[in-house]
Amino acid sequence: MLGWFKKKFGKKEEQIPVPDLEQPDQTEPEQAEPTLTADISLEIPPTLEDVQETSAPIEPLPQPSSLSDLPKEEVSPGKKSSSMFQRLSERLTKTKESLVYRIDTLFLGKKEIDQELLDDLEEILITADLGVNTVQELLDEARRKLKRKELSDPQTLKKALKEKIRSFITESDRPAELVMPDKGPFIIMVVGVNGVGKTTTIGKITHKFTNAGQSVLLVAADTFRAAAVAQLKIWGERNNVQVVSQHEGADPSAVVYDAMDIALAKNYDVVIVDTAGRLHTQVNLMEELKKIKRVIGKKIADAPHEVMLILDATTGQNAISQAKLFNATVDITGLTLTKLDGTAKGGIVVNICRELKIPIRFIGIGEQLEDLRDFDPNEFVDALFQEKESR
Ligand SMILES: Nc1nc2c(ncn2[C@@H]2O[C@H](COP(=O)(O)OP(=O)(O)O)[C@@H](O)[C@H]2O)c(=O)[nH]1
Ligand SMILES: [Mg+2]
């Protein structure tokens, strides 16, 4: 397991189920005029029009609950790691069904690899959202190996596929772990379109940090909707941490400016900034994100240390367009991929790693605290290809 928390603090994740945090009202008011003025350059990459906003169910906010209300689950370390792998494997069931089990069915009873089998395999890989280019590369390699007689039967082809997929996922040229600064607060700016799971992920990450004994300050820079601020406050209460917020429609950069002062004055270890994700006013959003980033950098040199993009796995290839758009604007340093439990399109992980080469820090495989996992490429591939009968 990679686990930057474990590396940094030597602590294990706790398994504490929490009540589901439902999605608040997604309706948004007109954008408020920012009160801070700064020179803003505007660069919108060509992929912009491809990007769609994620829709999430509109449900009422639950009442805040405190950490003490939450039941704790006692699990021994050995049992925990195998049960955690099992849970990951189970949560990936939809993707496994659309990818590995379909490949198994296709290969069943076949002794030879012929053109028809390769065509069917191509269709399966594309359907599981591995992406056209990635699939092409996988099949090109398979054909090359076939020519060199390195592949004799469908089972060796399946093994070769698994290893090639593993190599795509591990090929990021940047370190997988977050590196905290020697001094001063560790600033994480979280970005992504509406409904992808930014606020939920922030709640889960906060829990990891507080578990590791770190003090955390949350910043409600999604001032666009009162509900967004309220939702972050609920996570603040659940984790027993302070949330810096202002009134609805306040300038997000001003909220962040104040928060940096508080973080420095009170020596917080970690500051996590939640941001807005509306896309129908995307130009303003991108301006706003740049400005927030600049304000953070002016207060604390080298910050934000992490600009984390949250992507919803259920959006499939659209996640790639979103990543390119945000990367062009605020230089993404790490990714979290949410909702892998709810999709057959988990193959997107492979394509994201291959196309973007930005490390995936976490994956979300459910709505509970324990369902945010440190992303371990090997564990992911092994869980994906785990045999059906041993589940
Ligand atoms: N099944 C599942 N749901 C998730 C996951 N992460 C977030 N969600 C849900 O996605 C919805 C939107 O999350 P939210 O944090 O409000 O998104 P935001 O608009 O980006 O801040 C909520 O209902 C979350 O509970 C996940 O990993 N799996
Ligand atoms: Mg939110």
- Poorest-confidence range of 167-176, 286-295, 344-353? 167-176
The ligand 1 atom at the shortest distance from the C-alpha of residue 366 is: 28
* SS3 assignment for 262-305: HHHHCCCCEEEEEECCCCCCHHHHHHHHHHHHHHHHHHCCCCCC
The ligand 1 atom at the shortest distance from the C-alpha of residue 24 is: 16
Q: What separation in Å is there between the alpha carbon of 88 and the centre of ligand 1? A: 17
Q: What separation in Å is there between the alpha carbon of 65 and the centre of ligand 1? A: 18
Confidence of residue 66 (pLDDT cuts 50, 70, 90): very low
Q: Looking at the predicted structure, is the pLDDT value of residue 340 above 80?
A: yes
Residue nearest to atom 7 of ligand 1 (CA): 197
C-beta of 13 in contact with ligand 1 (< 6 A) = no
Q: What separation in Å is there between the alpha carbon of 307 and the centre of ligand 2? A: 16
Q: Looking at the predicted structure, is the pLDDT value of residue 57 above 90?
A: no
- Per-residue pLDDT of 140-191, as tens digits, reads 999 999 889 888 889 999 999 999 999 988 876 566 778 888 889 999 999 9
d(CA 313, CA 353): 13
Q: What separation in Å is there between the alpha carbon of 198 and the centre of ligand 1? A: 7
C-beta of 336 in contact with ligand 1 (< 6 A) = no
Q: Which two tokens stand for residue 59?
A: 């449900």
d(CA 109, CA 319): 36
C-beta of 346 in contact with ligand 1 (< 6 A) = no
C-beta of 277 in contact with ligand 1 (< 6 A) = yes
Which of 227, 230, 277, 276 has its CA nearest to residue 253?
276
d(CA 138, CA 165): 8
Q: Which residue has the higher pLDDT, 195 or 38?
A: 195
Confidence of residue 271 (pLDDT cuts 50, 70, 90): very high
Which of 21, 338, 345 is the pocket-test mutation for ligand 1 (most atoms within 8 Å of CB)? 338
Q: Per-residue pLDDT averaged across 46-64, rounded?
A: 43
- Per-residue pLDDT of 96-127, as tens digits, reads 999 999 999 999 988 889 999 999 999 999 99
The ligand 1 atom at the shortest distance from the C-alpha of residue 20 is: 25
C-beta of 195 in contact with ligand 1 (< 6 A) = yes
70 Cβ partners below 8 Å, 6+ apart?
16, 17, 18, 238
Q: What separation in Å is there between the alpha carbon of 100 and the centre of ligand 1? A: 26
Which of 360, 367, 369, 373 is the pocket-test mutation for ligand 1 (most atoms within 8 Å of CB)? 367
Q: What is the pLDDT of residue 110?
A: 87
Share of the chain above pLDDT 70, in %: 76
Residue nearest to atom 13 of ligand 1 (CA): 197
